Structure 1
Amino acid sequence: MNLPIYTAALGAFLIVMQAVLMVGVGARRLKGPFIGLGDDKNMERRVRRHGNLAENSGLFLAVLALLELLVGQTPFLAALCLLFAVARLLHAAGFSSLAGSHGEDLSGARKGFAAMRALGAFGTLITALGAAGGIAVALA
């Protein structure tokens, strides 16, 4: 039986990343609002960054683990793990500015935040489809 070692390593990375983003939300809460978002765009940005990682990571890790159990540790699987990790880092970095999260002040280098967010979202999509395709091929 293949143990999902790559999935475990990616999961460990993602849980640390999730914790860092969670601390970011908590730190902002010290300034208020203590519940909800209020009209605070910075709080909204942090909550969305944290939530987006949570909503994408769980299902991806589950499918990745199934794929790894089916095919073992392959270069394709390693590439999926690496690309997903990079995509999630890019997405979080894109959300680290109101330019990336809300499209505010997209002048000059600030356009980079929107680009990182877009690349992160696209990378997440590609890896999800890659994992699904890998399962389909493994089961064929």
Structure 2
Amino acid sequence: MTIPLIAAVAGAILIILQAILMILVGMHRIKNRVNLGTGDDLALERKIRRHGNLAENAALFVAVLALAEMTVVPNNIVRIIALVFIIGRIFHAIALSTVAGSHGAKTGKIFQAFRAIGALSTFGSFVALGGYLLAGIF
């Protein structure tokens, strides 16, 4: 069995990003004295969603990426999919740092584009990874 080194690197990058986003939520909570929930604070809501959205997607992605790397998907394809996912998650986190990216404000269209790129990169990575696995297995 091959050790999934690409998945390990992807996981390392994503967990560092997760830690950064977690700290930013915690610092905001401390600064604004919000223990639970958002306290109707839109900035805190954005930070919570940045952190939560990554958590919702990254763990499953890394697990399936490791399966792909250990089984039937060529390593160059695994690298490309991992890179697309990581870049997409970074774009998504940047987008959700602004009202334009998170709540659709009229200004700052670049952040809306970053959010779309992040979401499409995540979706595309999931579909590509699942598709390659299924095609290789069956």
TM-score, with length taken from structure 2: 0.95
Residue 22 (structure 1) aligned with residue 37 (structure 2): no
Residue 117 (structure 1) aligned with residue 115 (structure 2): yes
Q: How does 1:67-82 map to 2 (within 5 A)?
A: 67-71=68-72, 74-82=75-83
Q: Deviations over 1:4-33 (max 9, x none)?
A: 100000000000000000011011001121
Shift of 1:72: 6.3
Query: Does structure 2 conserve the Cα–Cα contact (< 8 Å) formed by 1:7 and 1:65?
Result: yes
Query: Secondary structure of 2:71's match?
Result: helix
- Higher mean C-alpha displacement, 59-68 vs 5-14: 59-68
CA distance in 1 between partners of 2:80 and 2:40 (Å): 40
Shift of 1:62: 1.1
Identity %: 42
CA distance in 2 between partners of 1:123 and 1:12 (Å): 19
- Give the aligned length: 137
Query: Does structure 2 conserve the Cα–Cα contact (< 8 Å) formed by 1:3 and 1:69?
Result: yes
Shift of 1:59: 0.8
Query: Secondary structure of 2:18's match?
Result: helix
Q: How does 1:1-140 map to 2 (within 5 A)?
A: 1-30=1-30, 31-71=32-72, 74-104=75-105, 106-107=106-107, 110-140=108-138
CA distance in 1 between partners of 2:120 and 2:73 (Å): 26
Query: Which residue identity is paired with 1:114?
Result: Q
Q: Deviations over 1:73-112 (max 9, x none)?
A: 62111100100110000000100101101112x22xx111
Query: Does structure 2 conserve the Cα–Cα contact (< 8 Å) formed by 1:99 and 1:114?
Result: yes
Query: Which residue identity is paired with 1:121?
Result: A
- 5+ residue gaps, structure 1: none
